[in-house]
C-alpha cells in the first residue's frame, strides 16, 4: 500500500508540474484550472490516497462505480460517461457535476431527479467529430439545448465539454472548440467553464482555455478495460 501511495504521489506531482507549466505559458493562474482525477476502474482506496494528497475532484463514467466510491470518499464528484435514461435518477443522487449532457431528451428527467435543495452543475458535451456515436451534440444544436437547461430550476449551466476526436491532432480540435465556446458565450455569458483535456492532451487543452481537465491514466496508471 505504501508503494501505491508513493506511486500515485509521484505521478500526481508530475501532472501538477505539467499543469503549472501550461498555465504559466498561457499567463493563467493555477486556480483557473480544476484537476479532476478520473478514478474509473480504480478502487476506492486509490481515491482515498488522492484525497489525502489534496485532490478534491473525482470523475467517473459509470453510475455503479461512482455511487459506490462517492459514498466512501468525500469530494466533488463528476460524471463524464454516457447518460442513460434509466441511470439518471441514481447519478443525480451522487454526482455534483455532469459533463456529458448531449441531448434535449435527458434534460427534463435530469432536472426532476435532482434531490431537493441541491443544484446540479451541467456541462454540454459538444461533438467535435463528424462520425456519430462517440457522444456530443452537433455545435449547431448547442444553443437550443442550453436554452432548455437554463430554464431548469435544479440545473446550473457551467459551459461546454469535449473530447478530442481520435485521429485528429488535439491542437486543431481544441482550437475549434475554443471558437465554438466563444460564440456560445455571446449567448450564455455565464457559461464560462470549458471541460477539455485528458492524460494525452491536457496541456494543449489548457492553452486553448480549458478550465476543467479530466485526467485518469497519467495519475493512476493505464486501465486494463478501455472504458
Ligand X SMILES: *Cc1c(COP(=O)(O)O)cnc(C)c1O
38 binds ligand X (CB under 6 A): yes
In whole angstroms, how close is the CB of 168 to ligand X at the nearest point? 16
45 binds ligand X (CB under 6 A): no
What span, in angstroms and rounded, lies between the C-alpha atoms of 172 and 174? 6
DSSP string, 43-101: -HHHHHHHHHTT--EEEES-HHHHHHHHHHS-SEEEE-S---GGGHHHHHHH-SEEEEE
80 binds ligand X (CB under 6 A): yes
75 binds ligand X (CB under 6 A): no
Pick 80 or 92: Cβ nearer ligand X: 80
What span, in angstroms and rounded, lies between the C-alpha atoms of 98 and 100? 6
What span, in angstroms and rounded, lies between the C-alpha atoms of 67 and 64? 5
DSSP string, 125-137: EBP--SSTTS--B
CB atoms within 10 A of CB 207: 18
The answer to whether 125 and 100 have CB atoms below 8 angstroms apart is yes
Stretch that binds ligand X, among 12-20, 142-150, 176-184, 193-201 (CB under 6 A): 193-201
Among 149, 163, 204, 206, binds ligand X (CB under 6 A): 163
In whole angstroms, how close is the CB of 186 to ligand X at the nearest point? 26
What span, in angstroms and rounded, lies between the C-alpha atoms of 215 and 12? 10
11 binds ligand X (CB under 6 A): no
Pick 40 or 188: Cβ nearer ligand X: 40
In three-state secondary structure terms, 123 is strand
The footprint of ligand X on this chain (CB under 6 A) covers a number of residues equal to 14
In whole angstroms, how close is the CB of 188 to ligand X at the nearest point? 22
193 binds ligand X (CB under 6 A): no
Pick 181 or 214: Cβ nearer ligand X: 214
Question: Environment class of residue 166 by beta-carbon count within 10 Å: exposed (0-12), middle (13-18) or buried (19+)?
Answer: exposed
198 binds ligand X (CB under 6 A): yes
Pick 126 or 215: Cβ nearer ligand X: 215
217 binds ligand X (CB under 6 A): yes
Pick 81 or 139: Cβ nearer ligand X: 81
Note the residues at the interface with ligand X (CB under 6 A).
38, 40, 61, 80, 163, 198-200, 214-218, 227
Amino acid at each position: 500500500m505504501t508503494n501505491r501511495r508513493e506511486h500515485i504521489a509521484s505521478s500526481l506531482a508530475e501532472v501538477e508540474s505539467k499543469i503549472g507549466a501550461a498555465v504559466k505559458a498561457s499567463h493563467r493562474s493555477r486556480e483557473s484550472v480544476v484537476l479532476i482525477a478520473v478514478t474509473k476502474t480504480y478502487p476506492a482506496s486509490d481515491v482515498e490516497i488522492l484525497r489525502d494528497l489534496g485532490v478534491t475532484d473525482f470523475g467517473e463514467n459509470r453510475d455503479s462505480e461512482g455511487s459506490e466510491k462517492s459514498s466512501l470518499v468525500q469530494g466533488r464528484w463528476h460524471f463524464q460517461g454516457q447518460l442513460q435514461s434509466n441511470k439518471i435518477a441514481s447519478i443525480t443522487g451522487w454526482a455534483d457535476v455532469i459533463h456529458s449532457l448531449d441531448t434535449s431528451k435527458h434534460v427534463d428527467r435530469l432536472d426532476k431527479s435532482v434531490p431537493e435543495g441541491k443544484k446540479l452543475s451541467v456541462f454540454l458535451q459538444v461533438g467535435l467529430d463528424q462520425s456519430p456515436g462517440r457522444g456530443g451534440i452537433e455545435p449547431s444544436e448547442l444553443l437550443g439545448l442550453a436554452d432548455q437547461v437554463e430554464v431548469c430550476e435544479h440545473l446550473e449551466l457551467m459551459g461546454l465539454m469535449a473530447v478530442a476526436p481520435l485521429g485528429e491532432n488535439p491542437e486543431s480540435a481544441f482550437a475549434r472548440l475554443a471558437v465554438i465556446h466563444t460564440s456560445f458565450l455571446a449567448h450564455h455569458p455565464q457559461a464560462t467553464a470549458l471541460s477539455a483535456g485528458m492524460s494525452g492532451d491536457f496541456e494543449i487543452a489548457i492553452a486553448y482555455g480549458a478550465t476543467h481537465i479530466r485526467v485518469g491514466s497519467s495519475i493512476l496508471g493505464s486501465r486494463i478495460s478501455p472504458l
